[in-house]
């Protein structure tokens, strides 16, 4: 994507090149964007839907589809906490804490990213750019040069990578680092990660009704740089020629309910009375309220590119990205275990 020297040049601190004062129409536009963001950030279902709707209108913004698919996975993990997968493994209090953590991280990303998407839509339609609006919407100064570069070059890969870096550094600075200090929850996370693949991100693809699963597992969730690398790998996987079109077709056809029944109805069911499948509830049935943790609203980028410039470099496509067999083995074991308990 970028040589190191060019990456360093882009990451220099910048100042707003627009007046600080609000104009009346500008104030109304910002209030509208904030209102739309609040409405879209009601829960995992609304966030996931907004990302897909945006991508359908603006397919050059690859990040929106990646965000949609990752948001689907966040929903799966939220409902796993109350389904056959984890409800008997985790104490109820830990389930609630994990849900709040997942909800807070994903809500913080939407709160930051969705206004950027709305600004892009406006800029694209009008052909005029008011870069100072980014800071007025509390978007990190890190993002300005990448939006500017995108309008000049149309480089979807670079913009997607910048958004991946920005959102992971944002939640690291505001949420993850503080949450990881809770040793009991951290212990549970590593237990789940090692034994159940709790940090695997899955992209259904292929032909109905037996969809295959592509994706990757994020090891070392407490390491922001590992999450950024994983995000870049997931992007390469999702937009791989063998994956992208059928995964998009799945997303457009299958409305997201956050139940894993959405992609494997022969294995999972949102009916708790089903005896032949694993119970994977819908989000609305088990988490009707989106409880979030408080987090500070602060700038993460201090103008030092040293810790992130290498993340702007391209990575080779993954040699292998199918997780179908692995997940079938894991699910078969869970079904056998559940059958013995009945």
DSSP-derived 3-state class of residue 319: coil
Q: 62 and 156 in contact (C-beta within 8 Å)?
A: yes
The percent of residues above 90 in pLDDT, for the chain, comes to 53
Q: 233 and 216 in contact (C-beta within 8 Å)?
A: yes
Has this prediction a pTM greater than 0.75? yes
Exposure letters 16-25 (e unless 16+ CB within 10 A, then b): eeeeeeeeee
* Residue-wise pLDDT tens digits, 241-296: 999 999 999 999 999 999 999 999 999 999 999 888 899 999 999 998 887 878 88
The two tokens of residue 121 are 């839509």
Residues 311, 7: Cα–Cα separation, whole Å: 9
- Across all residues in the chain, what is the average pLDDT? 86
Average pLDDT over residues 225-245: 95
Average pLDDT over residues 152-172: 96
Residues 43, 291: Cα–Cα separation, whole Å: 9
The percent of residues above 70 in pLDDT, for the chain, comes to 85
Highest mean pLDDT among 6-20, 22-36, 132-146, 173-187: 132-146
* Residue-wise pLDDT tens digits, 304-341: 888 788 899 877 777 788 889 888 887 776 666 655 55
């Amino acid at each position: 994507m970028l040589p190191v020297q060019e990456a360093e040049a882009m990451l220099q601190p910048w100042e707003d090149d627009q007046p600080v004062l609000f104009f009346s129409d500008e104030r109304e536009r910002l209030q509208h964007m904030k209102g739309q963001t609040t409405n879209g950030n009601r829960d995992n279902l609304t966030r996931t839907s907004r990302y897909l709707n945006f991508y359908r209108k603006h397919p050059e913004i690859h990040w929106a589809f990646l965000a949609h698919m990752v948001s689907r996975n966040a929903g799966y993990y939220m409902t796993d906490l109350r389904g056959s997968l984890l409800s008997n493994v985790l104490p109820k209090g830990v389930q609630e804490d994990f849900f709040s953590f997942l909800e807070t991280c994903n809500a913080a990303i939407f709160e930051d990213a969705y206004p950027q998407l709305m600004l892009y839509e406006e800029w694209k339609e009008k052909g005029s750019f008011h870069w100072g609006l980014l800071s007025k919407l509390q978007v990190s100064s890190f993002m300005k040069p990448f939006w500017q570069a995108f309008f000049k070059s149309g480089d979807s890969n670079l913009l997607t990578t910048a958004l991946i870096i920005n959102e992971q550094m944002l939640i690291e600075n505001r949420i993850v680092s503080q949450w990881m200090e809770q040793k009991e929850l951290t212990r549970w996370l590593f237990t789940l990660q090692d034994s159940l693949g709790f940090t695997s991100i899955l992209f259904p693809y292929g032909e109905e009704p037996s969809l295959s699963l592509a994706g990757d597992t994020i090891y070392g969730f407490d390491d922001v740089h590992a999450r950024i690398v994983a995000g870049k790998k997931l992007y390469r996987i999702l937009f791989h020629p063998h994956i992208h079109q059928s995964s998009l077709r799945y997303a457009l056809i299958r409305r997201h309910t956050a139940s894993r029944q959405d992609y494997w109805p022969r294995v999972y069911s949102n009916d708790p009375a089903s005896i032949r499948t694993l119970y994977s509830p819908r989000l609305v049935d088990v988490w009707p309220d989106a409880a979030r943790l408080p987090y500070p609203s602060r700038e993460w980028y201090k103008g030092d590119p040293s810790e992130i410039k290498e993340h702007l470099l391209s990575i080779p496509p993954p040699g292998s990205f199918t997780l179908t067999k692995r997940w079938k083995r894991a699910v078969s074991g869970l079904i056998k275990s559940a059958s013995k308990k009945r």
